Amino acid sequence: MSRMLSTVLALLLMQAALHAQVNISTKKVIISDLPDKTMMVVQTPNAALDSLVASGFASFWRISPFEYCSADEFLSGASSDKYYYFLVSDGNSADPKMDGLVTVSVFEGGFTGKGTPDKSDINSVRKALYKVIEVPLCKAGTTAPGIEPILGPVLTAIQKYVEYSIENDIVGYIGMKAYTNRPDMLDGKNVIITGPQEMASLMRSRAKDTVVSWIVCSCEETGGWCCNMLFDCESGELCGYFTHRIKLPKSPAGFLPKDLKFIRRHALSVSVRTAE
């Protein structure tokens, strides 16, 4: 408890110090214009995936206007801060925990000045932009039908994160870790740890007072990363985010015992229908 209080106090002091230095822009300030700018959805070489993303934006995106652009248009326009950009990764991320996964990311247009990007390479340009958030979808190589169940919830989660970050600098600083300790999101909920088919069914039915899992692993061998998420079936909101490095046999893919202990402590009930 004392360690948690120390961490919170340190973050609050850091936030106060940053506000005292008017020449430093916090994340809250940097992305405050996101709702007023157009989100450019960058198309991929995969037509089926682009169709799925377009359907997801039409159904779930509400925080800002959006349009679509080609990869070439992204490369030529990314240096300008006129737009924000939504990109689907090809399995290569600057974040080691995301490497080997298909991820979706939101970036602010305009180079940060850290290095000179190769303007012919998407990954190089992406690294030169200010990243707002990156969320894992699935293992690299997964086809569009395998991505479909998670896309809507992830788009909802991204928008909620942006709203929280605009309200609170600390949420912006810690990124997806903002969802690792949210007992309030589990209170009174029935949590189901299951596979993708049942997850999709429960999300489609908008099951009341139910939270369901989505497990993403780059591989199931020692050295891979595992990202475990929990989504509220009714609201689509992200309720939990747990990551770990796979080290067999003690830390396999899926939710670890310590994660399940936290979930059981705060949820109404927990049903594990896949290997823990």
68 vs 197, residue with greater confidence? 68
Q: Mean of the pLDDT values across residues 54-58?
A: 96
- Residue 91 neighbours by CB under 8 Å, 6+ apart: 99, 100, 101, 102, 140, 141
Q: Report the share of the chain in percent with pLDDT over 90.
A: 53
Instruction: Classify residue 49 by its DSSP letter.
Output: H
User: Which of 75, 176, 160, 178 has its CA nearest to residue 117?
Assistant: 75
Among 97-101, 115-119, 198-202, the range of highest mean pLDDT: 198-202
131 vs 12, residue with greater confidence? 131
* Chain centre to alpha carbon of residue 153: 10
Q: Report the share of the chain in percent with pLDDT over 70.
A: 88
DSSP per-residue letters across 175-200: GGGGGSS-GGGTBT-EEEE--HHHHH
pLDDT band at 91 (very low <50, low <70, confident <90, very high): confident
Return the pLDDT at 90.
Answer: 75
pLDDT band at 5 (very low <50, low <70, confident <90, very high): very low
Cα 216–218–221 angle (5° rounding)? Answer: 110
Q: Rounded CA gap, 231 and 69, in Å?
A: 30
Query: Where do we find the tokens 């396999």?
Result: 252
Lookup: tokens for 255: 């939710």
Return the pLDDT at 274.
Answer: 64
**What are the distances in angstroms from CA 111 to CA 77, 80, 107?**
10, 8, 10
